[in-house]
Structure 1
Amino acid sequence: MVSLERNRLTGDMRIVFRTQRRRVWSKVSAKPVRLKQLGQCASVERGVDYFTEEFERRFKAALSSGGVGQAMVRDLAGRRCAVQGVEVEGRPSPLSYRLLDGQDNLPPVVFLHGMLSNKNIFQAEAKALAQQTGRKVLTVDPQNHGESPHSPDCSYAAMSADLQALLSKLGLTPCVLIGHSMGSKTAMTFALQKPELVECLVSVDISPFVATENPNIFKIVPAMNSINLLGNLSDSQAFEVVDECLKLSVKDPSIRQYLFNSLVQVDGQYVWKAILATLSQQQNQILDSLQIQGVYRGPTLFLTIRPFHHPKIKLLFPEAQFQIIPDTSHILRIKKPHKFMNSILNFLS
């Protein structure tokens, strides 16, 4: 088994061999080197243009999740050399999505949901937009959510790369990106990295910077993990039980309603669709400010963003407009669904 991993201290990528000593082929832009493997070594030679299947699969995955086009490895003397030669096209696991058909001559709309939710939460908005605007509308589950696969990498660069691969596959660029919370940070990352692929952007109740005024949804995870429900309950009964269990930790009923969207019945047991353990381990980078270079100069709407964030946001999104919807909460689409949709429709028109 071979993998390529990022050194957290240096940011470099290195090949790690996890099995017995074996010969692995790759292209290396340096003399043959011997690479560390838990006390063992294996040789990597240059000039060979084929790979073992396992090496190629893991190499692609590691490169893609790192968001880079090449990797750096170190020989036993500590010298760095670049490993190249594999075409990288997004992370290997496909995202789960739902696409509503529409006109080809209009930029499609892409909804990106927030933490611990799934694509079904925007189902009503997606249908309404498709009917009222004639556009194609895509709803997507990022990895570790809904029906998309599990991944240990929850960085916004990785989620943006996943989105780019999917949109390229479906031929849905340039597009309109509408993101809520974590989904909004993914949308902003994508727009800053690939501005030519984004027609316009809507960010719902999240800033690209650390926002202490927003609820830390990770505080809810222990309460979610403590719930153990058998599948002999109806959905409505299960939701009533979960609502009672979460009330002590989650005071806002709109957030509890938001969480119900991820409660599903699997093999006679109610479970959460989101991979809670992985997301909790990555919470610092999920909650942190975006670490992305770039400027997006297209039309941008920020819904319910506190004014003290506006000047910094304008540096990254010079055409940003700001709209405050009063008497609402972080889950804007549940608390004020009509005003949420009207804001989007007015912006698109």
Structure 2
Amino acid sequence: MRGLPAARVRSAYELHRSSKHDAATCLNKNAPILFLHGFLGSKRENRQMSRNLAKELSRDVYALDLRNHGDSGHHPKHDYMEMALDVESFIGQHGLERPTLIGHSMGAKAALTLALHSPKLVSNVVAVDNCPINLPVAPDFLKYLESMAKAEREKVRMHAEADEILRQFDLDPPVRLWLLSNFVKQNGSPYLRLRVPLGTLKKAMGPLGDFPYSVGNVPAFPGPTLFLRALQSNFIPQSSFSLISQFFPQSEIVDMDCGHWIVQDKPQEFKEEVVRFLQKH
């Protein structure tokens, strides 16, 4: 494989193989799926759904860790264009052809950015509860970072101890479980450490509310695009529909009666919509 440009971060990943793959390479490089997680998430949260989609669609699914998340490298720049270019580099490094991009939240905006930046590289996109608009990040996300920083400062040894600290911030159990996945055992130390750079991510709060393109400064993406919209969140407001159709004229919007974490809250409905969309296109 070629080396990465200095600004690119190599993405850690899990490969979930389809039932049909080339016997010589053990890979089906045609029409793979790349699954991109949201803020403070990782490839692990999409593991079961990736397996399900690989089996249902007979396509290989790569679940990625985006920069500054999971097992991927850290970099002081954290915005959608940088993440999109990392994914573009991943596609080239692995010789993948015309992949489908599925992204949740932060991962959705990164996928949409890459589709507009390199439309010939991507066949279609599934954007899960985010869209190409400027929408300030909710204050809750800063609270998440503060709670994690406090747990790390207090040198916790077990996840249960970290959870007790997160409770002090009035966070719901599913949110605490999601945040706790970022605490890992440190070699040679009895204490848990955070695998995400909180300082970098705190500085990224502004850029993560933005979208790098505006209508008129980039051609529309010609491929099919599915937006899954959580009715109990405000990441895809109705006011964004016109902008979505201008950036992604071959798009459809499907409402899901749940909160922001669609993949976890409505796994069966999510899988059915994705399979329907991808089989159609």
- Higher relative contact order structure (alpha carbons within 8 Å, sequence separation ≥ 6): 2
2:181 to 261, 266, 270: 261
Does residue 321 (structure 1) correspond to residue 243 (structure 2)? The answer is: no
2:241 to 290, 310, 318: 310
2:213 to 243, 266, 291: 291
The two structures, once aligned, show a CA RMSD in angstroms of 2.3
- Runs of 4+ residues over 4 Å off in structure 1: 212-216
The structure with the largest alpha-carbon Rg is 1
Structure 1 segments unaligned to the other structure (5+ residues): 1-56, 66-90
Give the letter for the 1:313 counterpart.
I
Counterpart position of 2:270: 340
CA contact (8 A) 2:182 2:196 kept: yes
Q: Distance in 2 between matches of 1:317 and 1:196?
A: 14
> SS at the partner of 1:187?
helix
1:101 to 5, 14, 17: 17
Q: Summarize the Cα distance change of 1:165–1:250 in structure 2 as closer, same or farther, 3 Å threshold.
A: farther
1:249 to 126, 146, 169: 169
Q: Summarize the Cα distance change of 1:275–1:181 in structure 2 as closer, same or farther, 3 Å threshold.
A: same
Counterpart position of 1:111: 35
Q: Distance in 2 between matches of 1:256 and 1:337?
A: 20
Give the letter for the 1:321 counterpart.
E
Q: Summarize the Cα distance change of 1:216–1:190 in structure 2 as closer, same or farther, 3 Å threshold.
A: farther
How many percent of aligned residue pairs carry the same amino acid? 30
Give the letter for the 1:109 counterpart.
I
Give the letter for the 2:176 counterpart.
R
**CA shift for structure 1 position 313:** 0.9
Counterpart position of 1:71: none
Q: TM-score scaled by structure 1?
A: 0.68
Counterpart position of 2:113: 189
**CA shift for structure 1 position 105:** 7.1
Q: Distance in 2 between matches of 1:161 and 1:112?
A: 13
Give the letter for the 2:212 counterpart.
L
Q: Distance in 1 between matches of 2:146 and 2:138?
A: 19
> SS at the partner of 2:211?
coil
Q: Distance in 1 between matches of 2:140 and 2:88?
A: 28
Give the letter for the 1:299 counterpart.
P
Query: Equivalences for 1:6-155 in 2 at 5 Å?
Result: 61=6, 65=7, 91=8, 93-102=9-18, 103=21, 104=28, 106-155=30-79
**Going by fraction, where is strand more abundant, 1 or 2?**
1
Q: Summarize the Cα distance change of 1:197–1:345 in structure 2 as closer, same or farther, 3 Å threshold.
A: same
